[in-house]
Structure 1
């Protein structure tokens, strides 16, 4: 499993969440909503400190990660993070690794 963050998504994190070098962004499973890979759960994200990360990617010294306890949500899929240009919000897609 891998995390891919587009240039537009990186810029979104820097502008909307004021993410900067040294910050950590966690993607996690949250109850409620829907996703194409898990009905009844959706993907959340927050600034957080890694405890037991199973997947990390560092871009411009910002660490994006998924904790081991949330790995089940992805069910063997890679996470792609981009921006929906019409909504100006993050857009997630999942591809089987």
Structure 2
């Protein structure tokens, strides 16, 4: 599983959360709509890593997913990019192709 965050999306999170360089933001599974699996969606918040499943750094901010949430991705990669029409981040799930 690969996690990608575009620089534009990272800048949005920096501004919205008043983030500083080297802050950590965890992507976590929660009950909700609009996610990859019906009834679930992703949330994001400032946290400290415990057991990272996937991580990336964009604009000096560390984004990560914990091992306990790995089931949600089920062999999919996640890209967080800006939705230019809505002017907010959107989550793109792509199948993880075997190498």
Do they fold alike, i.e. is TM over 0.5? yes
Structure having the higher strand fraction is 1
Residue 47 of structure 1 deviates from its aligned partner by 0.7
Q: List structure 1 segments (4+ residues) > 4 angstroms apart after TM superposition.
A: none
Which sections of structure 2, spanning at least 5 residues, go unmatched? none
Normalising by structure 1, report the TM-score.
Answer: 0.91
Which sections of structure 1, spanning at least 5 residues, go unmatched? none
Distance 2:92 2:51 in 1: 24
* Partners of 2:54 and 2:66 within 8 A in 1: yes
Q: Write out aligned runs for 1:1-97 (5 A).
A: 1-35=1-35, 37-97=36-96
Equivalent position SS for 2:29: strand
Distance 1:10 1:58 in 2: 9
Aligned positions, number: 96
CA RMSD for the aligned pairs?
Answer: 1.2
Residue 24 of structure 1 deviates from its aligned partner by 0.2
Normalising by structure 2, report the TM-score.
Answer: 0.89
